[in-house]
Amino acid sequence: MASDEIKRNHVLLFFGKNDLGRKRFKMIEKELIKGIIYSQFDDKAGPIPIVWVPSNISDELKNLISLKTINILAGDSEEIPESLAFIPFPSLNLKGLVKFIEIQDETRRGRTIDSSITLLFDEADDLIFYKYIKNFETIFADIAKKIINLAEKKASSKKLFEEMKKFENEIREILIELREGEVPKGKEAFPKAAEPESTGYRYKLIVVGDPHVGKTSTILRYTDNAFRRTYIPTIGVNLSEKQIKYKENEIKFVLWDIAGQSKFQKMRNYFYKGADGQLLVFDLTAPESFANIPNWYKDIKLNLKGKVEGLILANKNDLVNQRKVGNAEIAKLAGELNLEYFETSALTGDNINKVFERIADLLYQKGKIKVSEQKLKKVTRKSGKIPNKGKKSSKKPSKKKRKSN
């Protein structure tokens, strides 16, 4: 208990030991960890939950998670996978980080028991777990060993529950440390010294494309922020920010990752408003996503006045053997839409930084032209040398006086 209390006090240092700090500490669990379920396959009842935290998880949820994870394991004729698996539960808007384990039991058919440990979280938070999966591998391996040892010794449910609670606390501490790593104590996510709103440039970028083309992964690769983002699942938008130094200027990108599902079609019109730039993303292994790029372009053009600078991103170029869209096709479309294109990989990071450097250049140059035009208008209006467009000059042209002889 003393050791657990010391750990708890340590992680609270980041949030503060006052009431607000404790609320923030609890928020990690509330926001990210939706539950942990240890399941087994029973010869008579089939997949069943054995132990779960918190204790108030509904029977429906426990049974569904157990059924799906154990059935997936049972359907795999090969050895128990050592790596962690991501399993979606779309009907619940949840995902699970799952560790499959095998327990030896001479009394059971096959002398083994298929089992799983599932950490549940909102599907909206999956970026955190995808990004930091290596941070969770060791702790999952440790809890798997402990559970196997206890189960093979026929330990009580109480003992298993105690281990799962410890596991939950350790996961929570890791999440806090990871969040602290993205936003170090004493430092703001976007330092005030830069003052991008007052002395720099702020650009709204909309990132669009079909579902599963890698929009969110691309943004994550660029911003490196799994925690510092705002996801609004009910309306289908994911907001991230990135501040960079460009030609001695501070630029802040506000990235609007817009859901591609048709159910969000009406909301997208509102998300487009005020956009300075657009990134049209498709999957090189999915020709239908490429075919839809003109539709995304037209949809944006229909809702925004004037030219919106943009780029086409041909994503997943790391999947060389699965590629189904050729360079000639992409170049032709890019020419038709008058946009440049980049082949990218959110997985390897290939060309991701170049994409944002180029869009920064396009938007910065466009901004400079606008400023120059505005300055020119002010000068000409003050001097009266060049009449305003659309208005006839009220002054009559002066006639030159003849010199008298």
pLDDT tens, residue by residue, 67-91 = 999 988 776 545 677 888 888 888 8
Of the candidates 217, 216, 225, 230, the one whose C-alpha atom is nearest the C-alpha of residue 243 is: 225
Q: Categorize the per-residue pLDDT at 266 as very low, low, confident or very high, splitting at 50, 70 and 90.
A: confident
Q: How confident is the model at residue 261 (pLDDT cuts 50, 70, 90)?
A: confident
Each residue of 339-359: pLDDT tens digit?
999 999 988 889 999 999 999
pLDDT (0 to 100) of residue 3: 44
Question: How many whole angstroms separate alpha carbon 344 and alpha carbon 355?
Answer: 8
CA pair distance 343, 281, nearest whole angstrom: 10
Residues 306, 320: Cα–Cα separation, whole Å? 37
Given pLDDT bands bounded at 50, 70 and 90, which one contains residue 390? very low
User: What integer best gives the mean pLDDT of the chain?
Assistant: 80
Residue 73: the pLDDT is 78
Q: Answer whether residue 314 shows pLDDT above 90.
A: yes
The secondary structure of the chain, three-state, reads CHHHHHHHHHHHHHHCCCHHHHHHHHHHHHHHCCEEEEEEEECCCEEEEEEEECCCCCHHHHHHHHHHHHHHHHCCCCCCCCCCEEEEEHHHCEEEEEEEEEEECCCCHHHEEEEEEEEEEEHHHHHHHHHCHHHHHHHHHHHHHHHHHHHHCCCCHHHHHHHHHHHHHHHHHHHHHHHHHHCCCCCCCCCCCCCHHHHCEEEEEEEECCCCCCHHHHHHHHHCCCCCCEEECCCCEEEEEEEEEECCEEEEEEEEEECCCHHHHHHHHHHHCCCCEEEEEEECCCHHHHHCHHHHHHHHHHHCCCCCEEEEEEECCCCHHHCCCCHHHHHHHHHHHCCEEEECCCCCCCCHHHHHHHHHHHHHHHHHHHHHHHHHHHHHHHHCCCCCCCCCCCCCCCCCCCCCC
First to last CA, the chain: 115
Q: Say if residue 17's pLDDT is above 50.
A: no
Q: Is the pLDDT of residue 7 over 50?
A: no
Lowest model confidence (mean pLDDT) among 16-25, 126-135, 244-253, 303-312:
16-25
Determine the pLDDT at residue 13.
Answer: 43
pLDDT at residue 97 is higher than 90: yes
pLDDT score, position 78: 58
pLDDT at 8: 46
- Note the pLDDT tens digit of each residue in 149-166: 999 999 999 999 999 999
Q: Is residue 324 scored above 70 in pLDDT?
A: yes
| Paired strand residues for 342 | 313
For domain 196-366, give the fold.
Answer: Rossmann fold (3.40.50)
pLDDT given for residue 141 in this prediction? 94
Structural domain boundaries in the chain: 2-182, 196-366
Query: What is the predicted pLDDT for the residue at 76?
Result: 55
Q: Which residue has the higher pLDDT, 192 or 179?
A: 179
Residue with tokens 């008579």: 44
